[in-house]
Amino acid sequence: MSSTAYHTLNPPLRILLGPGPSNVHPRVQRAIQAPIVGHLDPYFGTVMEDTMALLRIVFRTQNKLTFPVSGTGSAGMEAGFCNFLEPGDVAVIGVNGFFSERMVDNAQRAGATVIQVPAEWGRIIEAEAVETALKSQKKVKLVAVVHAETSTGALQPLTDISRLAKQYEALLLVDAVTSLGGQELAVDDWGIDICYSGSQKCLSCPPGLAPFTANQTALTVLQARKHKVPSWYLDLSLLSAYWSANRFYHHTAPISMVYALHEALAVIADEGLEASIQRHARHGQALQAGLEAMGLTLHAQKGHRLNTLTTVRIPPGVDDLRVRQRLLNEFGIEIGGGLGPLKGQIWRIGLMGQSCTSQNVLLCLYALERILATEGHRVEPGISVTTAIKNLGR
């Protein structure tokens, strides 16, 4: 065998309809291939400035501290907790899925006492339960919730929880990994103090960057810390000095990834943020209507379902892994399985960014209908696609 067989990449073309990553726009693909410059090069400085400005548009914020953290969405999560929590602080965290559980772990590693506000996986955190938790403590430093819980498909309302955080003088931290650019999100208008996301979901950029924003209230808390931020790499006071006009060296930024994010954000700006949100709503709701027409049951709480990621219960007697493998092998479609207690119980179908198209909605429904019919689930032929087309035409 030739030695080059070990080194030549030839990945298959996939239709990425799982919980992330999504397919990237051709403009983003070209941006990754653009010539490298130094991370302190004046040209790269202009790219950084543009990227921050574009992120402010998508986050709907005027926050000065708005930039991509070099790392995946999990780096954004850790930056949020390790910068704003210290040993002995109290954090109230809504726990209704895999990623909110990860929030708890992050807060505890920062030395905080965590008051969990639990809800069934697939249901939202009720504001009344958050208020009960806030009332139970003398002082709460931070309230944290996941806006778009990727493990369950639930969309968390934020305005009432934001109001409560302000009333009890706590910071509000929001995970927007699966919502930024695809669901309505207004950092300033909704009173969100700290928010992070991931590059690979609705922004349709490869994974590797975590868009992050924090307001002046949060920065004042950061400046008043009694202890150093435990993570040098994720210390926002150091990172912000690099993402400033002075470009004070901190680390070698992933230049090609910043190019890619810049172009991904420009694609959204060209489409229009509101148009992008409406596109995700139209296609997500058409997919959900098609799945229900197929006789399947949606998992997330009615009235609080994500458009960007749909969770659907696996019919009795149907093999989870075999269906997903057949979708991949026969149609080139990737969807996701369940996590934690939902493993083997649900499928997660993402329609995010470049993957959110009418063609993908109809192909996914057609393929799933064909496969389920051979797996013992009775389906009226064509019903899901016909239903989706009617919804797409509205």
* Claim to verify: residue 249 and residue 376 sit in the same structural domain: no
Where among 218, 244, 269 does a domain terminate? 269
* Claim to verify: residue 78 and residue 184 sit in the same structural domain: yes
Per the domain annotation, does 324 fall within a domain? yes
Domains held by the chain: number: 2
* Claim to verify: residue 363 and residue 290 sit in the same structural domain: yes
Burial class (CB in 10 A: 0-12, 13-18, 19+), 12: exposed
Model pLDDT for residues 67-117, shown as the tens digit of each residue:
999 999 999 999 999 999 999 999 999 999 999 999 999 999 999 999 999
* Claim to verify: residue 42 and residue 59 sit in the same structural domain: yes
Per-residue HEC secondary structure of the chain comes to: CCHHHHCCCCCCCCEECCCCCCCCCHHHHHHHCCCCCCCCCHHHHHHHHHHHHHHHHHHCCCCCEEEEEECCHHHHHHHHHHHHCCCCCEEEEEECCHHHHHHHHHHHHCCCEEEEEECCECECCCHHHHHHHHHCCCCCCEEEEECEECCCCEECCCHHHHHHHHHCCCEEEEECCCCCCCCCCCCCCCCCCEEECCCCCCCCCCCCEEEEEECHHHHHHHHCCCCCCCCCCCCHHHHHHHCCCCCCCCCCCCHHHHHHHHHHHHHHHHHCHHHHHHHHHHHHHHHHHHHHHCCCCECCCCCCECCCEEEEECCCCCCHHHHHHHHHHHHCEECEECCHHHCCCEEEEECCHHHCCHHHHHHHHHHHHHHHHHCCCCCCCCHHHHHHHHHHCC
CA-CA distance, 317 to 323, in Å (whole number)? Answer: 12
* Claim to verify: residue 230 and residue 308 sit in the same structural domain: no
* Claim to verify: residue 221 and residue 331 sit in the same structural domain: no
* Claim to verify: residue 59 and residue 148 sit in the same structural domain: yes
Neighbouring C-alpha atoms within 13 Å toward the C-beta of 285: 16
Where among 252, 269, 286 does a domain terminate? 269
Q: Report the candidate in 187, 203, 207 with the shortest Cα–Cα distance to residue 195.
A: 187
Per the domain annotation, does 19 fall within a domain? no
Q: Assess whether the previous peptide bond of 21 is cis (omega < 30° from 0).
A: yes
pLDDT in the model for residue 3:
56
pLDDT in the model for residue 268:
98
* Claim to verify: residue 293 and residue 355 sit in the same structural domain: yes
* Claim to verify: residue 233 and residue 148 sit in the same structural domain: yes
Per the domain annotation, does 7 fall within a domain? no
CA-CA distance, 261 to 79, in Å (whole number)? Answer: 19
In terms of DSSP bridges, do strands 142-146 and 171-175 run parallel, antiparallel, or are they unpaired? Answer: parallel
pLDDT in the model for residue 393:
80
Per-residue HEC secondary structure of 262-306 comes to: HHHHHHHHHHCHHHHHHHHHHHHHHHHHHHHHCCCCECCCCCCEC
pLDDT in the model for residue 2:
54
- CA dihedral over 132, 137, 139, 144, signed as positive or negative: negative
* Claim to verify: residue 226 and residue 245 sit in the same structural domain: yes
Where among 269, 294, 311 does a domain terminate? 269
Any idea what the CATH number is for the domain that residue 283 is in? 3.90.1150.10
Residues of the chain with pLDDT under 70: 1-5, 394
Under a CB-based contact definition with an 8 Å cutoff, are residues 133 and 92 in contact? yes
pLDDT in the model for residue 248:
85
* Claim to verify: residue 186 and residue 42 sit in the same structural domain: yes
The residue range of the domain holding 147 is 26-269
**The overall pTM is greater than 0.85:** yes
CA-CA distance, 207 to 86, in Å (whole number)? Answer: 29
pLDDT in the model for residue 13:
95
CA-CA distance, 283 to 279, in Å (whole number)? Answer: 6
Residue with tokens 């927007």: 176
- Neighbouring CB atoms inside 10 A of 25's CB total 20
